[in-house]
Amino acid sequence: MKKVILSILGVVLLFALFILVKTITFKADNPDSTPVTPIEVTDDALLRLQKAIQFKTISYGYPGQPDSVEFTGFHQFLAAAFPLCDSLLEKKTIQYSLLYKWPGSNPSLKPIVLMSHMDVVPVDEGTLDNWEAPPFSGEIKNGMIYGRGSMDDKVSLMAIMESVEMLLQSGFQPDRTIYLAFGHDEEIGGEQGAGSIAKYLESQGVQLEFVLDEGGLVMEGLITGSDRPVAMINVAEKGYVSFELSITTPGGHSSMPTPDNTIGSLARAITKLEDHQFPYKSIPLLKAQMAKMGPYYPFTQKMAFANSWLFGKKILEVLNAHTTTAPTIFKGGVKDNIIPTSASAVVNFRVMTGETTEEVLQHIISTIDDDRITVKSVTNRNEPSPVSDFEASSYKTIEKTVQQLWPDMVVTPGLISGGTDTKHYQPISENAYRFFPIRVSMAGITGFHGINEHLATDNYKEIVQFYHLFIRNQNE
């Protein structure tokens, strides 16, 4: 007996030792880069961003009717604010979107596209009191600039223009052609804007090395117990689809309810969907992300990352690595004493890489298992994006630029749940990266589309510095 206990103890100890060794030897492999002194960005850049925010280039619901005065006003402002971009680059206006071409000296190199969008989401009137400064003021207060677009996404549009203007001034000439593409309807799908720009480029026979868009950021406070920010370069995005579930029944009087109540049945279907979540999935991209971020966590979490074969599920949960199910609308009933004959609900799904919207539909039908309920999509069925190559030299250049400017940042590829305009470029670009160095705290993430959208003025200068160095780095 003693022998058995001793040998079990031995196995447990060996196991613990194995986990410990894996944890201790779990090291980050960050590329070495020599720090670079960033270009100086003057306060004039802030004034220009301030002006940009003041144009109410709002995208309301789909299909949008852009306010021509605001959008063309914004175009004229850009032309005046960045005279070298306006005169030295080839400019094309596509509806209310803008495409600039900066021809490279080496036509054998594939061009790249730096993307952004000029439209912003509306502001809910009822929340105006919760803003530190009016949402279309661009007011600067205590080192922060306030307003729609300060995070999403005039900030990157303006930073791209600032950096290109500075580079043109210094006589810089890119080796490869650089396009600047600014859509006007990203917030409502980007069909007319980025969609039309991508189609135009395709019609010109353009094949791209990569596109760089919004959709990645610098998360502060993500790694608990560490003050290293995480630069998340998102190389893939989940798919997007909303399905409406509707039920029709004979209804009836509420004094004689039957068990197959209209609302009750639909509610049961929704509950079934919530109870039968899609499984969590590991994909190579997430493994790479764990390897990049894991070593910087405090010991216990580091142990989990280092031994993801054992603790993988927990980590995948944290990374939200599955198709998510979110009921968002529920409608039914007209009077308190009538059982309605119909009810409907909408459930939004963000589809995990490797799965399809068709699989989501089949999952709904088999899970709810109720013939009375019909299911149909009420949005575009956007499939998950391909995973862009995070070993490619174009990715490495983003990584290197970040490390040169901010050696303390942990740079990792990642997966984003939200959609960006990059989807429109899939036919002409194998790789799409989503990143610019906007610093966001865990609490500050609500600024995207939320109340009190704002950005630190120092961070804006960093974003300009990033694009400036990134473009220069293309020439190596």
Smallest distance from Zn ion to CB 145, Å: 17
Smallest distance from Zn ion to CB 344, Å: 30
Smallest distance from Zn ion to CB 214, Å: 5
Angle at 13 between CA 8 and CA 16, to 5 degrees: 130
Confirm if 46 and 145 have CB atoms less than 8 A apart.
Answer: yes
Nearer to Zn ion, 193 or 413 (CB): 193
Confirm if 154 and 120 have CB atoms less than 8 A apart.
Answer: yes
Nearer to Zn ion, 189 or 413 (CB): 189
- Burial profile 271-300: b = 16 or more Cβ within 10 angstroms, e = fewer: eebeeeebebebbebbebbbbbbbbbbeee
Smallest distance from Zn ion to CB 86, Å: 24
Q: Are strands 144-146 and 230-237 parallel, antiparallel or unpaired?
A: unpaired
**CA-to-CA distance for 4 and 11, rounded, in angstroms?**
11
Region of 144-152, 175-183, 389-397, 461-469 interacting with Zn ion (CB under 5 A): 144-152
Region of 13-21, 152-160, 189-197, 281-289 interacting with Zn ion (CB under 5 A): 152-160
Q: Please report whether residue 153 would count as binding Zn ion according to CB under 5 A.
A: yes
Smallest distance from Zn ion to CB 460, Å: 16
**Assigned token pair, 360:** 């989501």
Smallest distance from Zn ion to CB 241, Å: 20
Tell me which DSSP letter residue 120 carries: B
Smallest distance from Zn ion to CB 396, Å: 25
Nearer to Zn ion, 239 or 419 (CB): 419
Nearer to Zn ion, 294 or 444 (CB): 444
Tokens 């003693």 found at: 2
Tell me which DSSP letter residue 208 carries: B
Q: Which one of 186, 214, 383, 453 is the catalytic residue?
A: 186
Q: Which of 243, 252, 244, 245 is CA-nearest to residue 372?
A: 245
- Interacting positions 48-107 with Zn ion (CB under 5 A): none
Confirm if 432 and 385 have CB atoms less than 8 A apart.
Answer: yes
How far apart, in Å, are the Cα atoms of 243 and each of 109, 246, 249, 276, 420? 43, 10, 20, 16, 20
Site pattern 178..217 for Zn ion (x: CB under 5 A): ------------------------------------x---
- Interacting positions 429-468 with Zn ion (CB under 5 A): none
Residue 225 CA, chain-centre distance (Å), reads: 25
Q: Please report whether residue 119 would count as binding Zn ion according to CB under 5 A.
A: no
Size of the site for Zn ion (CB under 5 A): 3
Q: Which one of 119, 153, 187, 399 is the catalytic residue?
A: 119
Nearer to Zn ion, 186 or 399 (CB): 186
- Interacting positions 400-419 with Zn ion (CB under 5 A): none
Using CB under 5 A, pick the residue from 119, 139, 152, 462 that binds Zn ion.
152
Q: Please report whether residue 162 would count as binding Zn ion according to CB under 5 A.
A: no
Smallest distance from Zn ion to CB 422, Å: 11
Half-sphere exposure of 470 (CA within 13 A, CB side): 27
Instruction: Provide, for the chain, the percentages of residues in helix, strand and coil under a 3-state DSSP scheme, each rounded to the nearest 5.
Output: 40, 20, 40
- Interacting positions 214-253 with Zn ion (CB under 5 A): 214
Angle at 450 between CA 444 and CA 452, to 5 degrees: 70
Confirm if 453 and 146 have CB atoms less than 8 A apart.
Answer: yes
- For this structure, is 399 an active site residue? no
Nearer to Zn ion, 153 or 162 (CB): 153
Nearer to Zn ion, 58 or 223 (CB): 58
Nearer to Zn ion, 19 or 451 (CB): 451
- Burial profile 59-87: b = 16 or more Cβ within 10 angstroms, e = fewer: beeeebebbeebbeebbeebeebbeebbe
Nearer to Zn ion, 153 or 209 (CB): 153
Q: Which of 431, 462, 472, 393 is CA-nearest to residue 217?
A: 462
**Assigned token pair, 134:** 């009016």
Confirm if 35 and 407 have CB atoms less than 8 A apart.
Answer: yes
**CA-to-CA distance for 161 and 467, rounded, in angstroms?**
9
- For this structure, is 119 an active site residue? yes
**CA-to-CA distance for 48 and 50, rounded, in angstroms?**
5
Smallest distance from Zn ion to CB 121, Å: 9
Q: Could you give the residue numbers annotated as active site? A: 119, 186
Instruction: Enumerate binding residues for Zn ion (CB under 5 A).
Output: 152-153, 214
